Structure 1
Amino acid sequence: MTGPRPPFPGRIETADPIWRLWHELPPQWRGPIIGPEVENWDKITENDSARIRLHDLPETIAAELAWMAHWQARDGTRSSVLATNQLANIIRRAIGDRHPFPPSIRAMDWDQAAALQRWFYATRWGRLPPHGSIARLRVLFRFARLALVARCHDGHWWQLDDWHPRCDPRIPLTEREPQGNYGCSPGQIHHRWLREAAKWQLGTALEAGTLRWSTVSQERIKCLTRFDRWLSTIDDPLRVLGDPTDASVHAATFRRWDTDPANRLLRNNDRRFADRSVHPRQINDDLRAVGELFAFVAGNRAAAPRLLDTAPWSPVTEAHAAGWLRQVTRIKHTREINDAHYVDDHAMSQILAALPLLGLPRDQQMLISGDGGTSVAADGFDDPQAMRMILLQILTGRRASEIRTCRFDCLSAPPASAVPGEQITRFHYAQTKIDSAPDTILVDRQVAEIIGEQQRWVTGKFPDHEPRFLFVQRNGNRTGGKPYPPGTYAWVLREFSDRVQITDSRDRPVRLSHTHRFRHTRFTRLAELGLPIHVLQRYAGHATPTMTMHYIAARQQHAEQAFLATVKLKADGTRIQFSRDDHDSLHLFDRADRRLPHGWCLLPPLQTCDKGNACLTCSVFVTDATHRTVLQRQLDDTTELINRTTTEFEDTHGRPMPDDNIWLTHRRTEQQALTRLLDALPPEPERTAGSCCSRPAVAGPIPLPLPTPRTQP
């Protein structure tokens, strides 16, 4: 056996699918020796001039290894020459020693390959394989084997146990979801009847567009995997498919089990979250996933026999789904004074001061503040991409995925309506969550410089290729076509947080791995600057203003500052004391019928006023500094009215108007009230010469000096 020899070409369609793939390979990639005739071989392999040798192997395995090596080169990774040759040597030795092995790479999972490797090292060198050899062979059985299995599978793509868009182009993705980002494994669901139904339902939802790949791979599979783990704790798992009247009981039992954080952990490295409380929304997601699965199977009973083992599912009806969905609780959305997701200035200053440590090479150090205020030398992380990503999140308020997967040429010219002279640029971010939402914002020079610096860094790393993404994967990305991995970003920020120990003004730790807090912070600061809600919604990329308001942190400090900035005064010149819960009185400021020319009336809406226009003698009248001009004019008019009327009274009656005259008493009361109010109001701010506010408001046209036109030379 010198290499793969396919069956007669006319019978390829009826033969093993691997031969269809083998015939699609370029001739120089078909073996048995791969390398000498491949262009730029030293650049697409991990070992320069080393060759892949597939002689004396079973034809099917030789063809599979050749296709996997070529797929790695096309995928942008380097072909695993050493791992492929090692596996070939193991199989050749197994043939010579008559040691059993699977008939193909597709039939050989990682556990079988690792067992063969241990046997090979034990029989040849009398020891176990070193860690490097295990890791090298493991790479071959990750994406390359998944791609091989997917390309040779002629059924529905969702029938496979491992889903990854990078390896299987049949998986439907939206235009805004980059391929190769992450995968999932429905094969982790142990109960076969549940696993097959889950794959059918989720695959159909993806093809129909009712669910996105990000939702399926990151949420739904985990929800159903937790349901599968709970089924293993009960005596007869099929009881959940039995009497529909017991569906609510089973759902309630699962709900109690799901509330325990320890029961929700799906990986060993998630143990650090074991002590965290479970939000009711997370439990609702699990209950909803099970209920929708039952509803899908019950609603597609006619198609089930062709795609599913219907024996366990035959009793399931819509009543089962209703019983599970009834356990989904309603979560009240209340807006309370809450700044848990807000990064204050104290923490932000520490973050910006420590960020250079992320981009510093590993062989260099930087002084950071340690416990007790002492300075500690810390090694760099050698990840300038992570440093720029978190900077862009802080400055723009974008989601981590929108920065991490944005395209390389993400800057464009500003609109024609931009202010001349302002260095404004349009930034195209990777909006992957809402199809109808915008995917551009205007950014300033600082953001544009950070993006330009990153573009130069990527161009230097991949001079021979045109990068697709602004932030790229550093390893296994020969052509620069893969985005920065989300797991790497989260890990780097966790390690960075552990080292620099950022705290806020209340001495609470700030975890930088929770980058969504920067989105809350950015929108909160824009809202506090007075940005209108419809403009803030457009900047946030939200479909509704309600969602935007959830991101605005109701900071107690800002609420008190805004309250003190609008001090209200009574007619006697004293400040009115509002409690924080006095929402009814504050609401009266928005009522048009309670607005007065010189203040507001705090009389409850259901009561009537018997004062007429004598508000300055009323206890529920309030005003503030915004009415200074009106109050001063009223004081001048009232003083003039008193002087004119008393003079006319004396000329007519020959004696002064008595002090107990009811009209004079009310006018002098108003005069005294106006005087006290004006004295109690804070002084007006000084206006500098040339200020736009220094000129008093006038009615009619305003004269503008026009420059004298210059004559042409």
Structure 2
Amino acid sequence: MIGDRAARPLLRPVSVADPVGRLLADLPAEWRGEVIGPGIKDWPLIVEAQRDRALRLQGLPERLRLEIAWMAHWQHRDGLKVSVEVCNQLTSVLVWADETGHPLPESLAWADKQKILRLHGAWFHARHGRLPTLLNGRRARLERMLGYPRLALTARLHDGPWWELDTWHPRCDPRIPLREREPARSVGCSPGDARLPWVSNALKWHMAMLLESGTLTWTTLANQRSSSLLRFARWLETLPDPAAAIQETSQIGAFAAAFRRWTLEPANRSSVNRPPETVTTRKTNIDLWSVGELMAFLIDHRQEAARVLGPTPWDALTDAHPATWLRQRTRLPRQQLISDETHYVDDHALAQISACLPALGEPSTTTLTITSGEVTRELPGQDDPQLMRMLLLQIITGRRASEICLCPFDCLSPATDTAVQAADGEQIARFRYGQSKIDTAPDTILIDAEAVAIIEEQQQWVRDRFPGRDLPYLFPQRRANAHGTKHYGNTNYGRSLALFSKLAQITDATGRPVKLSHTHRFRHTKLTQLAELGLPVHVLQRYAGHSNPTMSMHYIARRDEHSEQAFLATRKFKADGTRVAFSQDDHDTLHLLDRADRFLPNGFCLLPPLQTCQKGNACLTCGVFVTDDSHLAVLERQLEETTTLIERTTTQFHRRHGRSMPADNVWLVQRHAERDALLKLLATMKASPGRAIQGAGSPSSPTPVSIDLTRHRKP
């Protein structure tokens, strides 16, 4: 009985090999006993804000009591708030079950989750006279307690190989082999979902050997290979005789073709809780390849498979099986280089993105009015300054999203002696990002002061949020990360940007929407800009972090405008061999495509020739207006005249009407915008002489033109 159990000693010397001893070895002394909480340092800060402040585990058998305490302590180590109220409620359910004659599970690790939830329903009905609702907060928290914490408990008490478990998750099972920089640490897979035992066991063993040998990484295994093999398992379950797909050697091709047709149906590629996914030939080929590799693996390790799996239908596999399945793949055309600008983010869209970025860091209770060009947006604050700096850093450096998410905290170091200063005298630094895709590729690039300022600002923000901790990542996860040891998830990064894209409504110069969640476009854009600056291919490959230059070329958008610029910037020869030399003025004139309406008194207009200007003579506040210090005198005179005009007109208005001109007067607003633009243009010119300056498109700071039209020209 319960009273007899309570009279026994709570702790006794046991072996660590014993499950109870294993749990005791993991728990600190203050986390043992029937009442846990008093005496633990910072206990109010590590528990959920509920009525119950202490874990009360009286009346439970020793093993169940230790298991609940271990799951609570695992929540604390994982960076979660300890669910004190849920643990106490689970204790009450188990004590009530024992008192009322319900079967009590020997261990929570191996108990059926649905049986525990049904037991909770019976306890709730006996206590309140009704069944708990599905949306009941306590029941939902109990289900979460029976999720990751119980999965971690199962892994801790499991004595066999890690791959024998039905569900694999690196967060819960440290035995799973991972790389140092693994983007998908927060992703799990469940090979036990295959309901045929002989299929499930083969999938587990095969995928575990691929992971332990280093043939596949966890990211590839969890996101791709497990999905393909589980899809094959679901197809086998639809057959009248699943074993016939393996054992009938005369029908190998027919079964392989049937599987290929089955995978082409969108409804067959998704689970019940997910919408149908888009079917492509590439995805179907991956499924066929995965099954063929499984069969080839079992054939190559036939003797070991017989020892590990026992007698199964896989024993009938022949060399014809993988060959036939692999022949069912559809031949794909060779991937072509990007011939358009669909992966390129133009300056028009970048100006809007830069204007909207502050909304990401503002509190959710505020609303910002963003003006970019002629478009005004009302954007609510997103209360995520990390997201703002991550996107800005990705735009500036052209890194992959996973490389930004996995960026180490101490990622800055001094540049080498051979590259101490940038071309314009600006101090630079070496940036170490989280290279996770290609192990042999470099993981550092040089960055300028602007990127350094972003990183240092983020480092200070993280130090203020996690004082006194040794932080591994520059961008820590926002929630469930009390210790700051988890990095910002790639999935959460894309999801947050997708939600912000719907609010910002960014468009390019042609009016097409630009989705911020497609962050790889910024990588294409950065590499295209560097290529247009004339960087050698091997330098571009080094900056991109690619293992071969062919991959780097796939990222370069072959823009017609730049092709004409590069062609006209080279030396030309006539048919008779005489040389034709192009001066800088000639090149700039041809760069503007010989459009007379693009030459302005104070600069040039870079509007594409197929578009018309909607701004009239308001060039100073236009994003495609560009000028340089050759127009310095004109701009200074224009500033003086504009200032004089404002003063004269406002004075006349005051004399005529007896009051000052309203600040929202249409004429006055436009003149102030022109004056502010002139002040910022002139200030930037004087700070950076000899560089072309692009108009801001709105009353914001001028933007230096990133493409230098003369750098690649030979003297």
- TM surpasses 0.5: yes
Q: 1:584 is matched with which residue?
A: none
Q: Which letter does structure 2 place at the counterpart of 1:356?
A: P
Does residue 511 of structure 2 align to residue 511 of structure 1?
Answer: no
- Summarize the Cα distance change of 1:565–1:245 in structure 2 as closer, same or farther, 3 Å threshold: farther
Distance 1:538 1:384, change over 3 A: same
Counterpart Cα distance in 2 of 1:238 and 1:7? 51
Q: Is the 8 A contact 1:4 1:63 kept in 2?
A: no
- The CA deviation at 1:198 is 1.0
In structure 2, the partner of 1:59 is: 62
Q: TM-score, normalization: structure 1? A: 0.76
Match of 1:293 in 2: 294
SS in 2 for 1:412: strand
Query: SS of 1:302's equivalent?
Result: helix
Does residue 39 (structure 1) correspond to residue 41 (structure 2)? The answer is yes
Q: 1:97 aligns with which of 100, 108, 117?
A: 100
Greater CA deviation, 372-381 or 177-186?
Answer: 372-381
Output the amino acid matched with 2:325: W
Q: Which residue of 1 aligns with 2:414?
A: 413
SS at match of 1:294: helix
Question: Over residues 361-391 of structure 1, what are the superposed CA-to-partner deviations in whole Å (9 max), with x where a residue is unaligned?
Answer: 1101123579x97745332211111111111
Distance in 1 between the 2:690 and 2:224 partners? 60
SS of the residue corresponding to residue 378 of structure 1 reads: strand
- 1:308-327 equivalence runs, <5 A: 308-327=309-328
Please tell me whether residue 206 in structure 1 is matched to residue 211 in structure 2: yes
Give yes or no for contact 1:6–1:19 (8 Å, CA) kept in 2. no
**In 1, distance between residues paired with 2:9 and 2:306?**
39
Larger radius of gyration: 1
Cα displacement (A) at 1:357: 1.7
Aligned to 1:125: 128
> Secondary structure of 1:417's match?
helix
Cα distance change of structure 1 residues 455 and 338 upon mapping to structure 2, 3 Å threshold: same
Q: Post-superposition shift, 1:132?
A: 1.8
C-alpha contact 2:155 2:172 (8 A) present in aligned 1: yes
Q: CA contact under 8 A between 1:405 and 1:471: conserved in structure 2?
A: yes
Q: Deviations 1:21-74 (Å, cap 9, x if unpaired)?
A: 224422221211111232332232224881111110122211111111222222
2:145 matched residue in structure 1? 140
**Alpha-carbon distance, 1:312 to partner:** 1.6
Q: Aligned to 1:458, which of 458, 462, 468? A: 462
Measure, in 2, the Cα distance between the counterparts of 1:326 and 1:95. Answer: 59
The CA distance in 2 between the partners of 1:111 and 1:349, in whole Å, is: 53
- More displaced stretch, 38-47 vs 147-156: 38-47
Return 538-547 or 488-497, whichever deviates more. 488-497
Do the aligned residues in 2 keep the contact of 1:167 with 1:180 (CA within 8 Å)? Answer: no
Distance 1:336 1:423, change over 3 A: closer
1:312-361 alpha-carbon deviations (Å, 9 max, x no partner): 21111222111111223343122352332222222222222212222121
Gaps of 5+ in 2: 585-629, 633-688, 692-709
Aligned AA for 1:335? L
8 Å Cα contact 1:426-1:440 kept in structure 2: yes
**Structure 2 counterpart of 1:441:** 445
Shift in Å at residue 565 of structure 1?
5.2
Whether 1:422 and 2:426 are equivalent positions in the alignment is yes
Q: Measure, in 2, the Cα distance between the counterparts of 1:136 and 1:28.
A: 25
Corresponding residue for residue 360 of structure 2: 358
- String of CA shifts for 1:431-479, please: whole Å, max 9, x gaps: 1111111111111111111111111111111113222211111221111
Relative to structure 1, the CA distance from residue 463 to residue 305 in structure 2 (aligned partners, 3 Å threshold; closer, same or farther) is: same
C-alpha separation in 1, matches of 2:169 and 2:533: 44
How far apart are the structure 2 equivalents of 1:312 and 1:390? 51
Tell me if the contact between 2:430 and 2:445 (Cα under 8 Å) persists in the aligned partners.
yes
The answer to whether the 8 Å contact 1:3/1:62 transfers is no
Take 1:194 and 1:623, find their aligned partners in 2: how far apart are those partners?
73
Tell me the residue number matched to 1:85: 88
Aligned residue in 1 for 2:246: 241
Deviations 1:666-690 (A, max 9, x none): xxxxxxxxxxxxxxxxxxxx9x999
1:134 CA displacement: 2.4
What secondary structure sits across from 1:367 in the alignment?
strand
8 A contact 1:189–1:228 mirrored in 2: yes
Partner of 2:646: none
Q: Does 1:181 align with 2:204?
A: no
Q: CA offset at residue 99 of structure 1?
A: 2.9
Do the aligned residues in 1 keep the contact of 2:506 with 2:515 (CA within 8 Å)?
yes
Normalised to the residue count of structure 2, the TM-score between the two structures is 0.76
* Aligned mates of 1:556, 1:310 — CA distance in 2: 64
**CA spacing shift, 1:179–1:545, aligned 2, 3 Å:** closer
Partner of residue 221, structure 2: 216
Q: 1:74 aligns with which of 52, 77, 80?
A: 77
* Distance change (3 Å), C-alpha of 1:690 and 1:77: closer
How far, CA to CA, are the matches of 1:3 and 1:279 in structure 2?
65
| Aligned equivalents of 2:457, 2:151: Cα separation in 1 | 36
| Paired amino acid for 1:555 | R
Give SS of 2:430's match. strand
Q: Look up the match of 1:21.
A: 23
Seen in structure 2, the aligned counterparts of structure 1 residues 627 and 111 have a Cα distance that, compared at 3 Å, is same
Distance 1:562 1:391 in 2: 29
User: Residue 496 of structure 1: CA displacement?
Assistant: 0.8
Alignment partner for residue 346 of structure 1, among 337, 348, 352? 348
* Separation (CA, whole Å) in 1 of partners of 2:218 and 2:431: 25
TM-aligned CA distance change 1:521 to 1:111, over 3 Å: farther
Verify the 8 A CA contact 2:247 2:313 in the aligned structure 1. Answer: no
Structure 1 counterpart of 2:117:
114
Q: Distance in 2 between matches of 1:30 and 1:398?
A: 47
Would you say the 8 A contact 1:4–1:58 is kept in 2? Answer: no
Deviations 1:163-204 (A, max 9, x none): 112211111112222684322222223332222111101101
Unaligned stretches of 5+ in structure 1? 569-597, 600-614, 629-685, 699-713
Letter in 2 for 1:98: G
- What is the rounded CA distance, in whole Å, between the counterparts of 2:450 and 2:171 in structure 1? 35
Mapped partners of 1:624, 1:239: distance in 2: 76
- Alignment deviations for residues 554-582 of structure 1 (CA, whole Å, 9 cap, x no partner): 234433444555696xxxxxxxxxxxxxx
RMSD value over aligned CA atoms? Answer: 3.1
Partner of 2:636: none
Structure 1, residues 486-541: CA drift from partner, whole Å, max 9, x if none?
Answer: 23212211111122222222322222212112111111111111111100100011
CA contact (8 A) 2:206 2:294 kept: yes
Contact 2:184 2:219 in 1 (8 A): no
The residue type paired with residue 358 of structure 1 is L
Percent pairwise identity:
48
Q: Does 1:399 align with 2:400?
A: yes
Change (3 A) 1:45 1:180: farther
Matches within 5 A, 1:477-626: 477-563=481-567, 599=574, 616=576, 624-625=580-581
- Partners of 1:10 and 1:65 in 2: how far apart? 19
| Amino acid aligned to 1:365 | T
Cα offset, 1:156, TM superposition = 0.8
1:237-276 equivalences under 5 Å are 237-266=242-271, 268-271=273-276, 274=277, 276=278
Number of corresponding residues: 581
How far did residue 626 of structure 1 move? 6.0
- CA deviation string 1:97-141 (max 9, x = no partner): 223343321123443333233222222113414532123223312
* 3-state secondary structure, aligned to 2:223: helix
Are 2:15 and 2:21, in contact at CA under 8 Å, matched by a contact in 1?
no
